[in-house]
Amino acid sequence: MRDLPGRELAQEVMAASRGAARATPMEDVIAKAGNGGLDAAATHRLVGRLWALERMFYYIYGGWGQGLEINDFPPSVKYLFSKQIVDESTHEMLYMDLLLKKGFVANQKAAFADPVCGFRVNSSLAYYVFSLRNLATYPHTIRIAALNLGPKIIELAWTEALAEATADPDLKGALNSQIVENRSHVNMGRRIVEEFIAKPVDAELARWAVGIATRDYHRYLQEVADIVLDRPLTPPTPPRVRVLD
């Protein structure tokens, strides 16, 4: 439908995210997997860090859901968001099943105490999680634009590439099983932006939110890559501050 108010905005931010997806820290992990270099310990670190993020979406979406009010959006929008919550829960369980199947943890309770799987406040994972959680103060359209047309596009790209590169059938299966849902999340974000972001101020907010979420997700991926490849953590790039004298 060419007359949708946010059509051009959706195309703009999706193109920017696809460009960002071509060069992420996960490229090093993908290359290592393609060369057969992801041993059991590296796979443990990879799946553990991915699981740590997925389980935090309960916290993120819990805050976002509190910001949805009666009659503020059509039921279809809220249904799609509910489906995304279910999908994310499924992804969390897929990673947990993989941790258990490979014997990386004895049970789910043990995973919370595992250093690889644990959540630490002083981490890029926490920075990204809190960044998304803070979007609860913005309209639902802005939140969905930020996540689904930013990090979700990047996640879809590296997930597909890593699934293709790895020879580990269990890891390949866990990654491939998420691709359909992630595509659905991107399409949901596109639809909501196209239909419901019409005001210039909302469009600017969406651009800002996508940029922030993408930046912080890239920071999380850098941490994941460093941990998986067992190298020193890369310090985050200091934010640029404009000084007006």
Which of 231, 235, 210, 238 is CA-nearest to residue 28? 231
Residue 214 buriedness (CB in 10 A; 0-12 / 13-18 / 19+): buried
pLDDT of residue 237: 72
pLDDT of residue 3: 80
Alpha carbon separation from 221 to 72, 83, 159, 227, 244 (Å, rounded): 34, 25, 12, 10, 33
Q: What is the 3-state secondary structure (H, E, C) of the chain?
A: CCCCCCHHHHHHHHHHHHHHCCCCCHHHHHHHHHCCCCCHHHHHHHHHHHHHHHHHHHHHHHHHHHCCCCCCCCHHHHHHHHHHHHHHHHHHHHHHHHHHHCCCCCCHHHHHHCCCCCCCCCCHHHHHHHHHHHHHHCCHHHHHHHHHCCHHHHHHHHHHHHHHHCCCHHHHHHHHHHHHHHHHHHHHHHHHHHHHCCCHHHHHHHHHHHHHHHHHHHHHHHHHHHHHCCCCCCCCCCCCCCCCC
pLDDT of residue 151: 98
Query: What are the 10-residue block averages of pLDDT along the chain, 245 residues in total?
Result: 85 96 95 94 98 96 81 80 94 97 96 95 96 94 96 97 96 95 96 94 97 97 98 81 64
pLDDT of residue 17: 97
pTM of the entire structure?
0.93
pLDDT of residue 185: 96
